[in-house]
Amino acid sequence: MGFADQRFNVNLSILFTELPLLERPAAAAAAGFTAVELWWPWVDSPTPEQSRLDALRKAIEDAGVLLAGLNFYAGQLPGPDRGALSVPGEESKKFRANVDVAADFAQSLGCKALNALYGNRVDGVDPAAQDALALQNLALAARAAERVGAVLLIEALNRPESPLYPLVSAPSAVGIVDKVNATTGLGNTKFLMDLYHLSMNGEDLPSVIERYASRTGHVQIADNPGRGAPGTGSLPLEDLLDQLAKAGYEGWVGLEYKPGDTPSAAAFDWLPAHARAAR
């Protein structure tokens, strides 16, 4: 087995960002990929004008790529925010306003995975109150995902880079998965296994895969240290993906790494060209 046996997609919110948003899907296609994913592209608006949604949809359709994953609104990302759904006040209101907009956009492009970032802890707010708000909003998101035939993803980030984010281990994220599924009864909430974030937390990645591969709805990778392409750090990513495949994971692997000093199109030399197209 090896990298050639995986189904890879490119995250257009971290790769090809030297290009305008509407040019990125075609650039990914020109690099040989047939699928892409995105963080919520409009950090200024959870409910953008229909013309902006239509333009992005057309760019993806014209490029001939599949939208394999989409984040719900998560505030300023990249930036200081790490989600909005547990943040009281305007941010959680924006998240709720975005839920159906994002779900409908995903459905229009056949996207089957919607990622909901939990949000940072807020000074002066009881963490229990934030968790209660988060569960309400995640249940809303899970129901919207179910309506459009998608899964809801819950992701662990890493403590060094996101010290205010409460989900900084695989067990903490999977615990939220369980709570959402118990609340909704839908069973469509799954773990997003980001091997870079988990490695930054010092977790035993083979053990995480063994325990949670069956609970995983999406995988993302970057090497560590540096969050660069596979081979730029020390993570045995090929071996880890092999283990995931042997454990039965057949979903997408999102490339969510920084291209470094080279143009994004030159950041895929590690991956054979024939392995970039979904099979």
Structure confidence by residue, pLDDT tens digits, 156-214: 999 999 999 999 999 999 999 999 999 999 999 999 999 999 999 999 999 999 999 99
- Fold category of 3-275 in CATH: TIM Barrel (3.20.20)
At a CB cut-off of 8 Å and minimum separation 6, what does 2 contact? 238, 242
pLDDT attached to residue 45: 96
pLDDT attached to residue 3: 80
Would you report the helix, strand and coil content of the chain in percent, each value rounded to 5?
A: 40, 15, 45
Q: Which runs of E-coded beta strand occur in the chain? A: 7-11, 35-38, 66-71, 113-115, 151-155, 189-194, 216-221, 252-255
Q: Which residues of 131-140 are buried (b: 16+ CB within 10 A; e: fewer)?
A: eebbbebbbb
The rounded radius of gyration (Å) of the Cα atoms in the chain is 17
Q: Is residue 1 helix, strand or coil?
A: coil
pLDDT attached to residue 278: 76
Tokens of 279: 């099979």
Q: What are phi and psi of 219, to 5 degrees?
A: -130, 140
pLDDT attached to residue 5: 77
pLDDT attached to residue 155: 98
Q: What are phi and psi of 67, to 5 degrees?
A: -85, 105
pTM score of the predicted model: 0.97
Q: Rounded CA gap, 69 and 39, in Å? A: 8
Q: Which residues of the chain have pLDDT under 70?
A: 1-2, 279
- For residue 108, the surrounding DSSP H or E stretch is helix 90-108
pLDDT attached to residue 2: 65
Tell me the catalytic residues. 155, 256
